[in-house]
Amino acid sequence: MVVAVRDEERDTEKRSDFAQLLEQSFGMSPVEEGEIVKGTIVGITNDMVIVDIGFKSEGQISASEFRNPKGEMTHKVGDVVNVFVEEVENASGLVGLSRERAEMVQTWDHLVEASEKDVTVEGTVVGKVKGGLSVDIGVKAFLPGSQVDIRPGRSLDSYIGETFAFKIIKLNKKRGNVVVSRKVVLEKERERLKHEVLANLQEGQILDGMVKNLTDYGAFVDLGGLDGLLHITDMSWGRINHPSELFSVGQTIRVKVLKYDEKSERVSLGYKHLQQDPWSGVEERYAVGARVTGRIVNITDYGAFVELEPGVEGLVHISEMSWSKKIKHPSKIVAVGQSVDAVILDIDPDNKRIALGLKQLLENPWDLLREQFSLGARVSGTVKNIADFGLFVEVGCEIDALAHISDLCWVQTFDSPAEVFHKGDQVEGVVLQIDPENERFAIGLKQLLDDPWEIIERKYPVGGTAQGRVVRLSKIGAVVELEPGVQGVIPRQDLAEEPPIGTEYPALVVSHADPRERRFFVKPQGV
């Protein structure tokens, strides 16, 4: 029994030795399942590719593993390829091999190494999936939407078909799970570029940048890892309402570094500074007194801005729009976009200001006054407006005449002209002043009446008595009429109480008569 066992062991050893000798005689090395080895393509058919791995038998691999997406064969006889040993000997006595599994194993080994060493891998975006994109990095990987880019706005579909570098942020070989990020790669590259830009950045430098974002007040320009602000006032010498009138996101532009704050890393950029300042030589192109044509580009409460050429604007002040009209707002005269003719009144190139006038192109109605009226001439007109200091009277020309309160009557018994006059009243007067230089046109109403003062002084001396009736109440007291055309005032301090209109005073004493101020005061007898 023991002898039989020993004989069997000796037979097994002999067979093993024989197999080893046989492999050595064929120059073959032993292979193991699950191993990746090199093999040489020795034959190609429509269905199979025959690969010699230096073993006792050859292996067959499906030809589909060697065809590209177009169905074309990617290898030829004699090519050396890596293959995965699935079986040392299959049912047909051949070695079971797979090229795809070899590539898969090698790919995973490469991905694990890249993840451990924190290096990038290259991949192609192949499709859109829920929450992000699918990326081919040798295996299918998931690219979350939040990790696609550092600059939002681009649609995910637009990335399909493009090849990028990615960083592996999550890997599970057992589950075949890989999550990648392009954003991490871009941020790292951006940081590197930022340090390069900062190391060489200086004021006055000319740089190329990409418009990253547009706002109402300017544009943010990517200088290569560092953003600079191009303010709307530094975009054009002319007037623009929004940066989108000149630029679009993604556009590459050339800018000048105006200011750089090293501590805050803030960069102010200029675009118009790369073009000639249109105010340069403005005095050679324009002259005071010259007539110019421009376009209204802005209207404010105090005037309108006129563009004479791109970057050069003049201001028409509201006071220079009309000789005589009282303009409440410039929009009553001009509108944005309107083409206007104007006269240059002043040029200040240092402060970049040009003063313009519209009324200077019209005939000055003040110059016509002396042709229409003469001093002392009798005029009639309509009360257009009433102020505390007098009346504005339309007398048949563009300019209203002022009848000052002191020229309305010889004896003033009212506090405001509104107590006696109303808009629309017809009045007559005499021309007292025509002064075009100071724009004064005055008339007087009392000058058409006899001066009653001499009669009043003789008939109503101080201390004398008279009778009167209250015809009006004013701030200074009660106005009493002594006789038609003759009125006096009882001061408030002399009144025990405010008398009703129509109150009769049988005995009044003249208390004061001032020829200089032409005032006539009375008081009840006994006061």
pLDDT at 315 over 70: yes
Distance CA 313, CA 295 (A): 9
- The predicted structure's pLDDT at residue 516: 61
pLDDT: which is higher, 198 or 388? 388
- The percent of residues above 90 in pLDDT, for the chain, comes to 31
pLDDT of 423-469, one tens digit each? Answer: 999 999 999 998 888 888 999 998 888 777 767 777 888 888 888 89
Is residue 24 pLDDT above 50, yes or no?
Answer: no
Amino acid 21: pLDDT:
46
Residue spans per domain, the chain = 33-117, 118-186, 201-274, 282-361, 365-448, 457-524
Query: What architecture is domain 33-117?
Result: Beta Barrel (2.40)
| Average pLDDT of the segment spanning 314-323 | 91
Give the CATH number of domain 118-186; options: 2.40.50.140, 3.30.360.10, 3.40.605.10, 1.10.8.100.
Answer: 2.40.50.140
15: pLDDT strictly greater than 70 = no
pLDDT digits (tens, 9 = 90+) for 193-243: 788 777 778 888 898 999 988 999 999 998 877 888 999 999 988 888 899
Query: Is residue 395 within 8 Å of residue 381, measured between CB atoms?
Result: yes
More confident residue, 107 or 250: 250
Percent above pLDDT 70 for the chain: 90
pTM: 0.47
Q: Among 2.30.40.10, 2.40.50.140, 3.40.367.20, 2.30.42.10, what is the CATH number of 282-361? A: 2.40.50.140
* Chain position carrying tokens 């590209």: 68
Report d(CA 430, CA 443) in Å as an integer. Answer: 5
Mean pLDDT of the chain: 84
Res 296: pLDDT? 94
DSSP track, 221-238:
EE-SS-EEEEEGGGT-SS
Could you give the CA distance from residue 307 to residue 298 in angstroms, rounded to a whole number? Answer: 9
In degrees, to the nearest 5, what angle opens at C-alpha 328 toward C-alphas 327 and 334? 65
Q: Are 272 and 237 in contact (CB under 8 A)?
A: yes
pLDDT at 2 over 70: no
pLDDT tier, 19 (very low <50, low <70, confident <90, very high otherwise): very low
| 388 vs 369, higher pLDDT | 388
457-524: what CATH class?
A: mainly beta
pLDDT band at 509 (very low <50, low <70, confident <90, very high): confident
Higher-pLDDT residue of 394 and 323 is 394
Give the right CATH number for 201-274 from 3.40.640.10, 3.30.450.30, 1.10.260.40, 2.40.50.140: 2.40.50.140
473 phi and psi, to 5 degrees? -110, 135
**Sorting pLDDT into bands at 50, 70 and 90, what band is 398?**
confident
Cβ atoms of residues 500 and 522 within 8 Å: no
pLDDT of residue 18: 46
Question: Comparing 19 with 526, which gets the higher pLDDT?
Answer: 526
* Average pLDDT rounded to a whole number, residues 258-283: 87
Q: Which of 226, 185, 219 lies closest to 205, judged by CA?
A: 226
Instruction: Please report, for residues 21, 246, 310, 416, 517, the alpha-carbon distance to residue 475 in angstroms, rounded to integers and kept in the order given.
Output: 141, 66, 60, 10, 18
Report, as an integer, the average pLDDT of 314-334.
89
**What secondary structure does DSSP assign to 336-393, as a single string?**
TT-EEEEEEEEEETTTTEEEEESGGGS--HHHHHHHH--TT-EEEEEEEEEETTEEEE
The pLDDT value given to residue 174 = 77
Tracing tokens 């403005």 back to the chain, one arrives at 282
Higher-confidence position of 57 and 30:
57
Instruction: Kindly tell me if the per-residue pLDDT of 494 is higher than 60.
Output: yes
Q: Which residue has the higher pLDDT, 282 or 415?
A: 282
| DSSP category for residue 493 | G
Give yes or no on whether 118-186 and 457-524 have one common fold. Answer: yes
Higher pLDDT: 20 or 247? It is 247
Fold of 365-448: OB fold (Dihydrolipoamide Acetyltransferase, E2P) (2.40.50)
> What average pLDDT does range 78-107 have in this prediction?
77
User: Could you tell me the pLDDT band of residue 5, with boundaries at 50, 70 and 90?
Assistant: very low
> How high is the pLDDT of residue 20?
52
